[in-house]
Amino acid sequence: MRRGIPELEDLGSLQGRRVLVRADLNVPLATKPDGAVVVADDFRLRASRPTIDWLRAQGAEVVVASHLGRPKGHDPALSMAPVREALWAWYPGLEVMENLRFDPREQANDPGFAEELARGFDAYVNDAFAVSHRRHASIVGVPALLPSAGGRNLIEEVASLGVLLSDPEHPYVAIVGGAKVSDKLGLLERLAERVDRLLVGGGLCFTLLAASGWEVGGSLVEEELLAAARRLLDTGKVLLPVDVRALKASEPFGRDGGTAEPLVFVQGVPEGYRGLDIGPGTEAAFARALESARTVFWNGPMGVFEDPRLRGGTEAVARMVAACEGYRVVGGGDSAAALRMLGMEGSVSHLSTGGGAALDYLEHGDLVGLAALRHSREQ
Ligand code: ADP
Ligand code: MG
């Protein structure tokens, strides 16, 4: 039991029992020159193995179900066939259901669909933490019908992120970047209540910088959130950039950006320029703030890291977090991608693969899918 969630061991004897595993097999696909569709990165498939292995070792008959991509109705391009084939390398003949989202009743949390899914099973396991903030039939409907437990991945996420929720050692420092304040306002507000210092970079720092009186030129600002930004600044915990790297507003940037080198501006961005990464002075200030941290949470790249010219801040923060001695958690889809791109995925205490679910969990302290496991049918 972790935070009240039953674990695999709590399911009792599984010999000869049919167990439905809601896994996260939402992998990227690629088309080979001969037209064959294959799994491009099997990292999520490998991650599903501890749960499947354990259940099979107990003598359970495992059936796996997942969604794949965002199909609108039945879409052969998003069939589970390539995933099934990849899993068969380890588990020949393993039963893998078709893409759950082919049926609109999955996302509508239709009780009839949950019943169809649960039919013929003796137990249910949720190992899809990354989808556990969604009120979908396979996440919240099925556990109401079957004895249920969290799989190994889900429990590891809950345990690791749970440290940040219950008893983080202080000083606790959070670093938040990424695209928009509007995506993360709730998270920022919640973190500001818990942490000792909140370092802000990425696209969202410009709304806070504007609220603090900076000229921000053509940088990303969400005008309607300036008042909320001011309230965050009033907590006295926010450490904003002191300088930023910027490009002319006309310069293309991103994955297929141009070649102009960014300029560093201190205490403001002139008209006609766009701030796209934190600057060297900010990196130094963030390093000082992180030096003595006993707990660190990092979400969101510090700049447009997809563009090699605008990767410096994210890379610097990744190194600082890696060098820190405290408990270090990194979460968020793009943050995880950035850490993997830098080859540093093994350098933190926990790299959450939970994407938006991890951020929701830290903001709200619970997820609908976790509550459903806690209240699952009596074992
Ligand atoms: P995560 O998935 O880790 O939570 P987000 O999705 O919030 O992160 O943000 C990632 C995106 O933010 C990246 O695509 C990155 O290019 C973009 N971004 C970072 N800094 C800036 C900036 N200064 N201006 C515009 N976009 C930015
Ligand atoms: Mg993202």
For 284-331, the pLDDT digits (tens) are: 999 999 999 999 999 999 999 999 999 999 999 999 999 999 999 999
Within 138-242, strands assigned E span: 148-150, 172-176, 197-200, 238-239
Each of the 379 residues of the chain gets a pLDDT tens digit; together they read: 888 999 999 999 999 999 999 999 999 999 999 999 999 999 899 999 999 999 999 999 999 999 999 999 999 999 999 999 999 999 999 999 999 999 999 999 999 999 999 999 999 999 999 999 999 999 999 999 999 999 999 999 999 999 999 989 999 999 999 999 999 999 999 999 999 999 999 999 999 999 999 999 999 999 999 999 999 999 999 999 999 999 999 999 999 999 999 999 999 999 999 999 999 999 999 999 999 999 999 999 999 999 999 999 999 999 999 999 999 999 988 888 888 888 888 899 999 988 899 999 999 999 999 999 999 976 5
Token pair of 261 as six digits = 């080198």
Which residue type, as a one-letter code, is found at position 178? G
Q: What is the pTM of this model?
A: 0.93
- Closest-CA residue, ligand 1 atom 15, reads 304
Nearest CA to 238 among 272, 296, 186, 188? 188
Atom index in ligand 1 nearest the CA of residue 202 equals 20
Q: Which value, in Å, is the radius of gyration of the alpha carbons in the chain?
A: 22
- Closest-CA residue, ligand 1 atom 21, reads 203
Atom index in ligand 1 nearest the CA of residue 301 equals 19
Average per-residue pLDDT for the chain = 96
Token pair of 270 as six digits = 């002139």
Candidate of 304, 315, 329, 351 to mutate for ligand 1, largest count of ligand atoms within 8 Å of Cβ: 304
Q: Which ligand minimizes its atom distance to the CA of 222? A: 1
| Residue whose structure tokens are 């809950």 | 158
Atom index in ligand 1 nearest the CA of residue 338 equals 3
- Closest-CA residue, ligand 1 atom 9, reads 178
- Cα gap 266→203, rounded to integer Å: 16
